[in-house]
Amino acid sequence: MHLLMVIDAARLDDDRRTLRGVARGLLDASIEQSHILGAEDDTAPVEPILDSVDPIATVMPSRWWRRGNQVAMLVDRIENQPVEAIFWSGDAAALLARDLAAHLEVPLIADTWRLDQVQHARRTPWVDTWVARTERIGNLLREVLKHGTVVTARPPVDLNAMTRLPDTRPSMVILDPGGPPREAQYLVGALGRVIEQRPDLEVFVELRSGASHRLWQMLQKSGLLDTVTVLDHVGALVPLVAKASVVVAPAPQGPARSLIPLSMCGGAAVVAASTACDELLIHNETALVLGPGDADTWAAALGALLSDPPLRQRLARTGRSRATDACREETALAAWITAITSSTESAR
């Protein structure tokens, strides 16, 4: 079969490694592909997902009158490819993929990784198969959907790339907290106290949300920018989370980002504001799950993980065992292949 993958720029930035692993696994299973990848503008180059597939780079239009012309142009570009299904990942890719599927009269497959997408799915009757990144999202989708099949398929993790170096210098990666900046004030306060206690700590903070500039100002005002590295590109985070001593997921409604299981498979101890981003997070078993808002509690927990190696290693060891079982490459890819192939089979 031949699959058309439509992926917007935000998903490429956030999830390129996972999507590359999925695409490679599908190709190994004899599922040929074409790729339409989101570009920042009409002239921006786009890095291919697979070396063997030349992508079509395009801006993902949201207005229906622009999408009509875009769809006609894209159909002309892929007219020699016998597309049998379309897979989309990324909110900006959804409407373009829907229009392409309607034009080509092929099944549509949706990638679902955030809790708020569940309610949107209730109002989206044109998707034939929903690929849920976690069991929690999959179960919620099954409760609300009136149309479409749900397949839970965790992202595959390449365990061969997870070899850790000795903890010669502790490191911490803080994922984008999301939400209004005032809600992250406690985190900035906790981080300042931890760095004061552990000046040897290497800290990386991801700031990518719309409020990132305000958070940067908070860090600057707290005098933390001299010791904290601020990152706004997920490509730099991927190798860091796999090697970090501690990974912090402070967004209470955090999406099921592949960075969470990746960090767990790498052997990092995880501290999270809730289990919303992944059900692999079990308090005091595979992670520390803390209610957001209390700087003292967060400073104490982060400080304990850094000063108590046995505690950190216990959480990391249990978390790694759970995550590697859940994200084993052959198991994950089998689920993705099932999701893709079942869509075309049911459409026949």
Instruction: Looking at the structure, tell me whether residues 176 and 278 fall in a common domain.
Output: yes
Looking at the fold, whether 36 and 100 belong to one and the same domain comes out as yes
**Is the predicted pLDDT of residue 71 greater than 80, yes or no?**
yes
How many residues are recorded in the chain?
A: 348
Residue 219 has pLDDT above 70, yes or no: yes
Question: Phi-psi bin for 223: left (phi > 0), alpha (psi -120 to 50), beta?
Answer: left
The tens digit of pLDDT for each residue in 35-45 reads 999 988 767 77
Q: How many other CB atoms sit within 10 Å of the CB of residue 263?
A: 32
Are 67 and 208 members of one domain? no
pLDDT, tens digit (0-9, with 9 covering 90-100), for 1-60: 999 999 999 888 888 888 999 999 999 999 999 999 998 876 777 899 999 999 999 988
What pLDDT is recorded for position 254? 74
Residues 145 and 13 in one domain: yes
- CATH code, 275: 3.40.50.2000
In this predicted structure, what is the pLDDT of residue 180?
79
* pLDDT score of 92 more than 70: yes
For residue 116, the model assigns a pLDDT of 82
Q: How confident is the model over 130-169, as pLDDT tens digits?
A: 999 988 899 999 999 988 899 999 888 876 656 555 556 7
Confidence check: pLDDT of 347 > 60: no
The reply to whether 122 and 21 lie within a common domain is yes
pLDDT score, position 209: 65
Provide the pLDDT for residue 13: 83
Same domain, 137 and 97: yes
Confidence band of 210 (pLDDT split at 50, 70, 90): low
| Residue with the larger pLDDT of the pair 242 and 164 | 242
Instruction: Say if residue 128 is in the same domain as residue 223.
Output: no
Check pLDDT > 60 for residue 110: yes
d(CA 237, CA 239): 6
Q: Residue 263 above 70 pLDDT?
A: yes
Task: Provide the edge-to-edge strand list for the sheet that holds 32-38.
Answer: 56-58, 32-38, 2-7, 85-89, 108-112, 129-132, 149-152
> What are the pLDDT digits (tens) for 225-237?
888 999 877 667 8
Model confidence at 303, pLDDT cuts 50, 70, 90, reads: very high
Residues 337, 222 share a domain: no
Both 110 and 179 in a single domain?
Answer: no
| Band of pLDDT at residue 314, cut at 50, 70 and 90 | very high
Query: What is the spatial distance between Cα 59 and Cα 243, in angstroms, rounded to a whole number?
Result: 34
Mean of the pLDDT values across residues 172-182?
84
pLDDT recorded at residue 50: 95
Q: Does residue 337 share a domain with residue 320? A: no
pLDDT band at 289 (very low <50, low <70, confident <90, very high): very high
What pLDDT is stored for residue 83 in this prediction?
94
Reply yes or no on whether the pLDDT at 117 is more than 60.
yes
Q: Where is pLDDT greater, at 344 or 110?
A: 110
Average pLDDT over residues 320-337: 89
- For residues 203 and 98, membership in a common domain is answered with no
* CB contact at 8 A, 118 and 140: yes
Q: Are residues 231 and 318 located together in one domain of the fold?
A: yes
Alpha helix positions (H), the chain: 9-28, 64-77, 91-104, 116-122, 135-144, 185-197, 212-221, 234-243, 259-266, 295-307, 309-326, 329-347
Could you tell me the residue range of the domain that residue 78 belongs to? 2-155+328-347
Q: How many structural domains comprise the chain?
A: 2
**pLDDT value for 163:** 55
- pLDDT averaged over the chain? 87
